[in-house]
A = this chain, B = another copy of it.
Amino acid sequence: MPTPIDLTAVLARFQEPWKPRTVAALNDYDIRVVRTRGEFTEHAHPETDEMFLVLTGSMTIRMGADEVRLGPGQLFVVPRGTRHQPVSPDGAEVLLIEPRQTVNTGDTPSAFTTEPVRLA
Contacts and interface: CB of A to CB of B under 8 A. Distances in A.
Nearest to A50: B26
A120 to B, nearest CB: 14
A51 interface: yes
A63 interface: yes
A24 B68 contact: no
Copies in the complex: 2
Contacts of A97: 26, 51, 97
Interface stretch (A13-21, A35-43, A74-82, A106-114): A74-82
B2 A75 contact: no
Contacts of A118: none
B66 A2 contact: yes
